[in-house]
Amino acid sequence: MVAAFVALTPGCDDGDSVEYKVRRDDDTIVVLTPADMPPYSYYDEEAKEFKGIEIDFVRTAAKKLGRKVEVKQCPFDELLGRVKSGEADVAVSVITITDARKEDVDFSLPYETGGASFLYRVGDPMPTMIRAETLRVAAVESMTHDFYLSTHGIDPIRFEVYQDAVAALKEGRVDTVFFDDGVVRHTAETSGGKLAASRRETREHFALAIRKGMPELMAAINTAIAERTPAK
């Protein structure tokens, strides 16, 4: 059986494209992630490798299938389109299952049921969806949190990656960040008491997005999810 490994590559737009890699080596499972959502999927600078709960699911599935894993960093708004086109096999980024997205990709079993909450500075009033109408709210562009705010009449300040939104909050350029509850709480817990998480505002099911027509990979990932962390 081939041992699974994660090869680090610089991004979606490097010369050795994902599409070429898939055609060149069918034994490789290509995974795309913005790598900005600890503890789910992120890049560990000290270890120089991609880590996280979602990536572990793919690693476990790869071992079952005798395949290798290559992780590439990619902006969130490009993930599903690249998986749909066949340039990659899996996208991970705390992706919410929606009917619209099901038209482009298949979804694994949900590994967690969560939602979105507000990240804010300790000492400030806790944001709520009603209070957010008067606040400078940051969101990651094209994520479900962005669309949710828009449907509630809130035009957020949009960032390409979550870390940039958090940096803006710390610097006082925004008042709060609306994002996945699990990631927000992890950020608050590791902020040294400077940031806090609000109550959960939405309820969503999170899963891995998988290229259509890959039943063996889907089954292996679902088994990894079921064996490790049944959906809550």
Do both 104 and 136 map to the same domain? no
Do both 77 and 42 map to the same domain? yes
Task: Please report, for the domain that includes residue 218, its CATH number.
Answer: 3.40.190.10
For residue 112, the surrounding DSSP H or E stretch is: strand 112-114
**Looking at the domain assignment, is residue 162 inside a domain?**
yes
Do both 108 and 216 map to the same domain? yes
Do both 20 and 77 map to the same domain? yes
**Looking at the domain assignment, is residue 1 inside a domain?**
no
Do both 130 and 96 map to the same domain? no
Tell me how many domains the chain contains: 2
| Contact between residue 90 and residue 211 where contact means Cβ atoms under 8 Å apart | yes
Do both 15 and 107 map to the same domain? yes
Do both 60 and 27 map to the same domain? yes
**pTM strictly above 0.85:** no
196: left (phi over 0), alpha (psi -120 to 50) or beta: beta
Do both 82 and 128 map to the same domain? no
Categorize the per-residue pLDDT at 144 as very low, low, confident or very high, splitting at 50, 70 and 90. Answer: confident
> Average pLDDT for residues 191-197, to the nearest whole number?
98
- 23-32, 103-112, 120-129: segment of lowest average pLDDT: 23-32
Do both 22 and 10 map to the same domain? yes
CA distance 61 to 74: 21
> Average pLDDT for residues 170-182, to the nearest whole number?
96
Range of the structural domain that residue 93 is part of? 6-112+206-228
